[in-house]
Amino acid sequence: MKCPFCGRDNTRVIDSRPSDDNNAIRRRRVCDVCGKRFTTYEKVETIPLIVIKKDNNREPYDRSKIEAGVLRACHKRPVSANEITGLIDEVETDIFSREEKEIPSSVIGELVMNKLKDLDAVAYVRFASVYREFKDVNTFFDELRKAVEKKKK
């Protein structure tokens, strides 16, 4: 592994431990030349995934897009960063466990909504309003009514 500070490849591992629910390994390394320490992560390489958008365009899967949508939905809500990361990890696990090369964005959106519904009702409605492109207030109220009825059960 090349040192990010001096560029030499004389580095060694001084500590390894599991990370991301055993989906990655975090390694602390030290450079034998300059003595600086740095961290690397080792993950299993997954199948390249293509997302099929609503307009039938295709683009590479990008976790940060799910992250941005969930963060927007959870803005100023009592949802911790760990809960958000956990939700995104669960969605990603569901997506990659399908072992498909292409996945419609609608499937990803539904997975996110199902997870948000259990996490925070307001965040769920916020996400659904953008994802489902509510055209009027009645559509919004219908979705709210469903969320409230689910809470009662």
pLDDT per residue rounded down to tens, the chain (153 residues): 899 999 999 999 999 998 877 878 999 999 999 999 999 988 876 668 999 998 999 999 999 999 999 999 999 999 999 999 999 999 999 998 888 899 999 999 999 998 998 898 889 888 888 877 766 677 767 777 776 676 666
Rounded to the nearest 5 degrees, what angle is found at the Cα of 85, between the Cα atoms of 73 and 71? Answer: 20
Q: Is 37 helix (H, G, I), strand (E, B) or coil?
A: strand
* Closest among 46, 142, 21 to 97, alpha carbons compared: 46
What is the structure's pLDDT at 138? 73
Residue 36: count other Cβ atoms within 10 Å of its Cβ.
13
What is the structure's pLDDT at 97? 87
Crossing angle of helices 81-97/63-73, nearest 10°?
A: 140
Is 28:14 a contact under the CB 8 Å cutoff? yes
Claim: this prediction has a pTM higher than 0.75: no
Amino acid at 80: S
What is the structure's pLDDT at 135? 67
